[in-house]
Amino acid sequence: MTLELSYQSKLLSPYQSKLQGWPGLIEAYRSYLPVTEETPVVSLKEGNTPLIPVPAIADKIGRQVEVFVKYDGLNPTGSFKDRGMTLAISKAKEAGAKAVICASTGNTSAAAAAYALRGGMRAFVLIPDGYVALGKLAQALLYGAEVLAIKGNFDQALQIVKDVAKKYPVTLVNSVNPYRLEGQKTGAFELVDTLGDAPDWLCIPVGNAGNITAYWMGFCQYHKSKKCDRLPKMMGFQAAGAAPIVKGYPIAHPETVASAIRIGNPASWKKAIEAQKASQGSFTAVTDEEILEAYRLLASNEGIFCEPASAASVAGLLKIKDQVPRGAKIVCVLTGHGLKDPDVAIKHSHNDHFSQGIEPTTEAVAKIMGL
């Protein structure tokens, strides 16, 4: 029996080793996260997303800068939200939760639904009716979440789910849940591990302001552990129609094509300001036109398809390029995949090379090709 098991083990081991690979965020950074041996890890092998050089963006800035994008749209559900959700759902399961709830402009609902399903829990998501990109809504529905669309905006939805979580046995997994930020800070760890140090600037879209807060937490923790020699300036960018931090007051009716950051009263507002001040960074508003220009630029010049909100980081960098120090190393966080919002891509592609109604012949196709 022992020999037979040993033989089977030898047969399986190459296959198993291929399957193992990247262990997921919790296992990769366990010593930096609030988990124990008793924490049931709920994972889709999130994290380990690529850091991609973008020379066309760097050329527009000049000054011998290096620019990279951290493409978190390649997480399992297509956004950075998976980083926080693996930990939030794992800790909820550890506490015995049977159901979770969140308010969402789309990405949080997709991540919450997927990880709750993986953890054997029910997921309830509140969304602003008519203001969630179809790609994100489709995900939440297919993952089996119970989607509740309210006649209101994200900020109203967030207040409702906070109230529900206080009164009923359901765990809130929005970024006000501290485990969400603990998971999201791993993005900073990955940047340092890849670059060998922190970048000079971190450019990041700001909606509910949890991610900029989390990245700063991560950089500070790694710096304290002597994993990096410096801390970056945290450069946050909000859509002009949803820029409460830039303006200094909540926006009752935020509007922007970048639906993921269409938030008028960020939950992590205070912490984001603290991160910005401590890092000597800044907050800047970018218009929808600037966001869409960066969105198209990333796709047409770099081959990177991100969702519109993600492009706010690049749009912001280009807007304040005169402030960039010579020789700086800059990372722009791309928070979500472009397929999250295909309608915007089609509507704003500005591509006049889409020919329809062509006869199904070689000659007709060759003619259109100019051959």
Q: Which residues are annotated as a binding site for pyridoxal 5'-phosphate?
A: 107, 207-211, 335
The residues with which 100 forms a beta bridge, in sequence order, are 123, 171
Contact between 92 and 121 under an 8 Å Cβ cutoff? The reply is: yes
b (16+ CB within 10 A) / e for 211-223: bbbbbbbbbbbbb
Residue list, annotated binding site: 107, 207-211, 335
Amino acid at 371: L
Amino acid at 233: K
Q: Which residue is listed with tokens 């935020």?
A: 254
Q: Which residue is listed with tokens 């820029």?
A: 243
| CA distance from start to end of the chain | 69
- The string of DSSP codes covering 65-93 is -EEEEEEGGGSTTSBTHHHHHHHHHHHHH
Contact between 24 and 86 under an 8 Å Cβ cutoff? The reply is: yes
- Token digits of residue 303: 């081959």
Contact between 208 and 263 under an 8 Å Cβ cutoff? The reply is: yes
